[in-house]
Amino acid sequence: MNIRVNKEVELALKEGKPVVALESTIISHGMPYPQNVETALNVEKIVRENGGVPATIGIIDGVGVVGMSEEEIEEFGKRGMSIPKVSRRDMPMVMASKSWGATTVATTMILASLGGIEFFVTGGIGGVHRGAETTFDISADLEELGRTNVTVICAGAKAILDLPKTLEVLETKGVPVLGYGTEELPAFYTRTSGLKVDYKVNNPKEAADIVRAKRDLKLDGGILITNPIPEEDSMDADKINAVIDNAIKEMDEKGIKGKDCTPFLLAKVAEITEGKSLAANIKLVYNNAKIGTLIAKEYCDEN
């Protein structure tokens, strides 16, 4: 199998300790060096401070690495966007050619599942893109959530997406969408979207109990736990939506499509907001790392 599990992660899993998977696209494509490395290591630190073992996942020389070393994270940060984003369809080619690859939500879920990890923390998931009724542009993240047994903790789907359609697809795939302390779907940069989640959980135990119930029932597929960005870091909804609309217009004018859409839009939004959206993105990831680890810890303590 083209997978290497870090010894610390392997031991933690054997001992029933909480392990939290983390993606590598946020390192290579999420922000510039050295801020990307600093953020990735801070997320790992937050996982440890809350009683978990971090497992940053990436593809190195054709091998899926579950639990990258600090040196490997540093190299990912330096190589940046020269490392391609890898989704499910790309994995065979990247593995066969012994290349490097940055794992998206979908591929992080796949490798986490192969490594025996239940919980995965990220910023926001991909979803149905605006205008998908004509482009059919729907992220592979949603397909993976419908088939792979990993619980994903995030701040909702990325705000650049069509959130109502994203929820409809998740419902079709049978993916429970939980709100951590909220009945409303968070919208990444903001705490509310006007859309209802399936169920509100008020603490880590309630969330862990739902994950355990789904696994006991042998219902394949993921669970999505949406955790709102902290109030003090939340952006003004009208302003950020206007910025996103302008960024999407420019993207369409430039003919940018497919997997290039999300990096372009996030970078453009960061540019227009003078870095405020990137700062919010970092804060929400830190918050998700804390809550995700507490849920993973509760799940392991009761197993």
Residue-wise DSSP of 153-208? EESSB-TTB-HHHHHHHHHHTT--EEEET-SB--BTTBS--S-B-SEEE-SHHHHH
Q: Is the pLDDT of residue 259 over 80?
A: no
Average pLDDT on 163-187 reads 97
- pLDDT at 218 exceeding the cut of 90: yes
- Look at residue 267 in the predicted model and tell me its pLDDT: 82
Exactly one of 10, 23, 118, 298 is catalytic; name it.
23
Query: Is-contact 240 277, C-beta < 8 A?
Result: yes
State the span(s) of the chain assigned CATH 3.40.1790.10.
Answer: 1-117, 123-303
Whether pLDDT at 1 is above 70: no
Task: Indicate the CATH number of 1-117 among 3.40.309.10, 3.50.70.10, 3.40.1790.10, 3.10.290.10.
Answer: 3.40.1790.10
* pLDDT at position 268: 85
In the residue annotation, 158 being an active-site residue is answered as yes
For 186-207, write each residue's pLDDT tens digit: 999 999 999 999 999 999 999 9
Statement: residue 112 has pLDDT above 90: yes
Other residues' Cβ atoms within 10 Å of the Cβ of residue 66: 25
Query: 10 Å Cβ neighbour count for 153?
Result: 27
Would you call 232 a catalytic residue per the annotation?
no
For residue 2, give both structure tokens: 């083209």
DSSP class of residue 118 equals -
**Marked catalytic residue, from 158, 214, 259, 268:** 158
Q: What is the mean pLDDT of residues 256-262?
A: 77
Q: Which of 119-128, 225-234, 249-258, 283-292 has the lowest mean pLDDT?
A: 249-258
Span 50-76, average pLDDT: 98
Query: Using CA atoms in the order 105, 273, 159, 212, what is the torsion angle rounded to 10 degrees?
Result: 50
Give the whole-angstrom CA distance, residue 159 versus residue 167. Answer: 13
Residue-level pLDDT at 130: 81
User: What letters, b where the CB count within 10 A reaches 16 and e where it falls short, cover 203-238?
Assistant: ebeebbebbeebbeeeeebbbbbbbbbeeebbbebe
* pLDDT band (50, 70, 90) for residue 134: confident
Segment 216-240 mean pLDDT? 95
Q: List the structure tokens of 116.
A: 């025996």
Out of 3.10.180.10, 3.40.1790.10, 3.60.20.10, 3.30.565.10, select the CATH number for domain 123-303.
3.40.1790.10
What value does the mean pLDDT take over residues 113-136? 92
